[in-house]
Structure 1
Amino acid sequence: MIRFGICNELFEGWGLGRTCAEVKGLGYEGIELAPFTLAELITDLGKDRRAEIRRTIADAGLETIGLHWLLARTEGFHLTSPDPTVRQATQDYLKALIEATRDLGGSLMVFGSPKQRDIAPDVSREDGEQFAAEVLAAVTDDLEAYGVDLCMEPLSTAETNFLTSIEETRGLIERVGHPRVTLHLDVKAMSGDPGGSVEGLIRAHGGVAGHFHANDPNLRGPGMGDLDFGPIMKALVASGYQNWVSVEVFDFSPGAEETARQSIACLKRSLAEALA
């Protein structure tokens, strides 16, 4: 069953209780958390505080979807670094994020973090891919133990030089070869994917995706730009996708309440049309 959630960084400056009340009141069922909104580093977030956050979300009648923006606003972590010390630190931090996801009540993590995965000019493509695969493979036991999926997100060439298409990302996922390392789809990113139209990409890959972000190429929420979400939702339903659809925006200027309100109205309307 497709359910709708929203990413919490949109509500910058709000307390978590107020955010959850607003999100629930608008009709969302889940909330997705950016670690930097909770603590400078996830390892700074103690067990008691994690339990308190989980209770606040549950008491509002919401579910914790998981974490995204995993390495944002951190230093010393990088997926394709040629330095084994950096890769070890990245692996260790991903393990800490996996445990935190479980503690917070979530079941997935979205790996976007474009600057922490760029392949450096002095690193070959093959070496960069191998470094990334090694780091990801090293955390699969933790993913399995904590029941968390790590969803790898293709991004545009304007953001990164690594994993810039669904095809490339699925190649890395296959190289890792573990069911807990899976694909993430993002509408904004798919708008620039060389593999085809957004709807075509969803129909081709939605059935294997572990998570989905809804947004407009203009960086605002669904229904707040020129992109028609009717065909997108029809393609998602047709693909067999049965997981969360989270609103993730990057332009906060319309305001958190207005963005959240317009976004879920668009998504609910589009899903109803797709199921009719």
Structure 2
Amino acid sequence: MPVGPFRLSVCNEVFEKTPFVEQCRAIKAAGWDGIEIAPFTLQTDATTLPAERRREVRDIIVSEGLDFVGLHWLTVGPTGIHVTTPDDAMRTHSWDFVRRLGDLCADLRAGETGGVMVFGSPGQRKTTGGATREQATRNYIDGVASIAGHLESLGVTLLVEALPIEQCDVVQTLDEAAGIVDEIGSPAVRTMFDSHNAINEVEPHAVIVERNWSKIKHIHVNELDGSYPRPDGGYDFKPVLQVAKDRQFPGWVSMEVFDFTPGAGRIIRESMAYLSDEISRLS
């Protein structure tokens, strides 16, 4: 059930090779409400996942008492994917792949609308092939715009995610991501906030979240080093969550971690306990 005013979910790659039904069961048992799926955990190219398996995944999520939140790590998995490359053929192929991920996202949800696609994936987004940052960014914007109408028809929302400077040079701040949302002007394109990815932001995170609130549809929580939220992690989640509470945030607060060393079970239990305590301290 929701913790305070928020619905909390887990990004599933933390479970690594654990069977999907066991992932869902563990997430629910630890008190979470939803699951956010990295497509490559279903199969290397999840856009070719058979219809029967899509229904099975959807039904498992429902039967275990969870909600499907959406997809992230969109372009990780298959080879030959790069969305900002100056290679026209590869770029066209890559955006068709993302478009088909929109179909997958729609197929995995239980209702007629909903599902977010968190577009981070630095390795398939950063500049390559001699392109300048400006050229690559334009290719990214044009690519998102090219599939926005299809996503609108599906009721799926693509989220432009700002990434740290050391990971990616295309869209590095929340302000820049929000500007892309404004430029494209589609209800199927929004942005999101990720605490780990905001490590290079120069203003307090609550300030940039407040300023761009109308365009934020999703929140990722993690420590600045990418580990799981916990008392000794060092990051104070309360300022951003206070903004979200004050604004009656209807979206998901989803935990994404990059260090799986402690094990999925410990990560989801301890982070749930800590986040619940932090949320209880909000005014």
Do they superpose with TM above 0.5?
yes
User: Whole-Å Cα distance in 2 between the matches of residues 177 and 84 of structure 1?
Assistant: 24
Q: Which whole-Å deviations, capped at 9, do the CAs of 1:127-181 have from their partners, x for residues lacking one?
A: 2222112211111121111110000110101101111111222222222221211
Counterpart residue number, 1:12: 16
CA contact (8 A) 2:10 2:34 kept: yes
Letter in 2 for 1:229: F
Mean Cα displacement is larger for which, 77-86 or 141-150? 77-86
Q: CA deviation at 1:229?
A: 2.2
Mean Cα displacement is larger for which, 94-103 or 234-243? 234-243
Mean Cα displacement is larger for which, 61-70 or 99-108? 99-108
Q: CA deviation at 1:266?
A: 1.8
Mean Cα displacement is larger for which, 264-273 or 9-18? 264-273
User: Whole-Å Cα distance in 2 between the matches of residues 208 and 133 of structure 1?
Assistant: 16
CA contact (8 A) 1:191 1:198 kept: no
SS in 1 for 2:213: helix
SS in 1 for 2:190: strand
SS in 2 for 1:78: coil
When the two chains are superposed, the root-mean-square deviation of aligned CA atoms in Å is 1.6
Counterpart residue number, 2:99: 95
1:110-189 to structure 2, matched below 5 A, reads: 110-120=118-128, 122-189=130-197
User: Whole-Å Cα distance in 2 between the matches of residues 12 and 226 of structure 1?
Assistant: 26
Matched, 1:199 2:206: yes
Counterpart residue number, 1:46: 50
What is the aligned counterpart of 1:217 among 220, 224, 227? 224
User: Whole-Å Cα distance in 1 between the matches of residues 87 and 17 of structure 2?
Assistant: 37
Aligned residues: 274
CA contact (8 A) 1:70 1:113 kept: yes
Q: CA deviation at 1:240?
A: 4.3
Q: CA deviation at 1:42?
A: 1.4
User: Whole-Å Cα distance in 2 between the matches of residues 166 and 43 of structure 1?
Assistant: 29
Letter in 2 for 1:62: L
Q: CA deviation at 1:239?
A: 4.3
User: Whole-Å Cα distance in 1 between the matches of residues 264 and 213 of structure 2?
Assistant: 28
Q: CA deviation at 1:124?
A: 3.0
Letter in 2 for 1:200: V
CA contact (8 A) 1:202 1:239 kept: no
User: Whole-Å Cα distance in 2 between the matches of residues 138 and 98 of structure 1?
Assistant: 13
SS in 2 for 1:139: helix
SS in 1 for 2:212: helix
Counterpart residue number, 1:230: 238
CA contact (8 A) 2:175 2:208 kept: no
Matched, 1:255 2:255: no
Counterpart residue number, 1:34: 38
Q: Which whole-Å deviations, capped at 9, do the CAs of 1:209-256 have from their partners, x for residues lacking one?
A: 111100001221112511122333213323443210000000111111
What is the aligned counterpart of 1:242 among 250, 258, 273? 250
User: Whole-Å Cα distance in 2 between the matches of residues 235 and 162 of structure 1?
Assistant: 27
CA contact (8 A) 1:206 1:240 kept: no
Mean Cα displacement is larger for which, 239-248 or 152-161? 239-248
TM-score by length of 1: 0.94
Q: Which whole-Å deviations, capped at 9, do the CAs of 1:9-64 have from their partners, x for residues lacking one?
A: 00112111111111111111100000110011012310000000000010000011
Q: Against the structure 1 CA distance between its residues 57 and 208, is the aligned structure 2 distance closer, same or farther, given a 3 Å change threshold?
A: same
Mean Cα displacement is larger for which, 111-120 or 220-229? 220-229
Structure 2, unpaired ranges of 5+? none
Structure 1, unpaired ranges of 5+? none
Letter in 2 for 1:242: P
TM-score by length of 2: 0.92
